[in-house]
Amino acid sequence: MKIFITRPIPESGIKLLRDKGYEVLINEAAKDRAADKQEILAGIKGTDALLSVLTEKIDAEIMDTGLPTLKIIANYAVGFDNIDLDAAKQRNLMVTNTPDVLTNTVAEHTFALMLAISHRIAEADKFIRAGMYSVWGPMLLLGTDLFGKTLGVVGLGRIGSRVAYYAAKGFGMKVLYTDVKKDENFERGVGAQFFENIDDLLSRSDFISIHVPLLESTRHLINENKLKQMKTSAYLINTSRGPVIDEKALAKALKEKWIRGAAIDVFENEPKVEPELFRLNNIILTPHIASATEETRNAMAELAAKNIIEALEGRTPPNLVK
């Protein structure tokens, strides 16, 4: 059995595959960049499994090049918008992802962003490194508390619900949420309030945290109109997918002070970033690292490998995308 991995991943996952006696080919050239399509086309020929990462678009041409031996595409991510699912289904190819193992880590990063922007941590770091700190002052770099504030969660999946739990139980925040369906058990657990209409949530929240998948219905979900409905004191956090937010509209909202600040880990045209955002002090930018801890990236590698092993041994992978 042969597996092709589009970019180097943690060794723990690779070891699981090699311990099974599989031949594992790794595209080492793409260590610090996305794999290009020609590399994937060359590597996938004659393989039984493709282990892909979210920086690569896996389309019908790639799948056809892997056939007839290709059986599974194991994505090293919880999201799978980089894979043409319709094309995979038409070719009877299994597609898997790596959910659950990154839930806590992404939720932690969400709060790291929330705290950093509201307490002006990045601004303060720049301030002191620039030699501007000459004396303590009562009004120096005043920020905003989380305690007692209202958090609006957009998308109550695994990560969104964990963020809401931390907010209510750890920071004493009031939680509002919007999702495709109401979850009464969740509401009882954290004292959350459901809003069917996102507009009602936006106008009531001090912090808004985005946790929806990227679908046609969620592309530019947060646009100029939605930004204008938020409080002028509100902060926007995004650790889901970049195109959910219209970056040009966000830059305008921050520049013209429609909202107080934002902190985002994902970008509309990743890795490119709307240039205007670089000029603003009321936004924090991180390079898609919400799941980037040693523990979680190892667990993701192992889960992707286990999905492949289950498929190649004739069983249903535990994280089959349906």
Known catalytic residues are 241, 270, 288
Partnered with residue 196 across adjacent β-strands are none
User: What is the per-residue DSSP string for 105-147?
Assistant: HHHHHHHHHHHHHHTTHHHHHHHHHTT---S--TTTT-----T
Q: Name, in order, each residue with C-beta under 8 angstroms of 8's C-beta and a sequence gap of 6 or more.
A: 26, 27, 28, 30, 31
What stretches of the chain show up as alpha helix (H) in DSSP? 11-19, 37-44, 60-66, 85-90, 103-118, 121-129, 158-171, 184-190, 198-202, 224-229, 247-255, 275-278, 294-312
Q: Cα dist. 255→99, 114, 180, 231 in Å? A: 36, 19, 32, 15
Range 57-60, long-range pairs (CB < 8 A, 24+ positions) = 57/82, 57/83, 57/84, 58/82, 58/83, 58/84, 59/84, 59/87, 60/84, 60/87, 60/91
* Location of structure tokens 């289904």: 89
- Report the phi/psi class of residue 148: left, alpha or beta, with left for phi > 0 and alpha for psi in -120 to 50: left
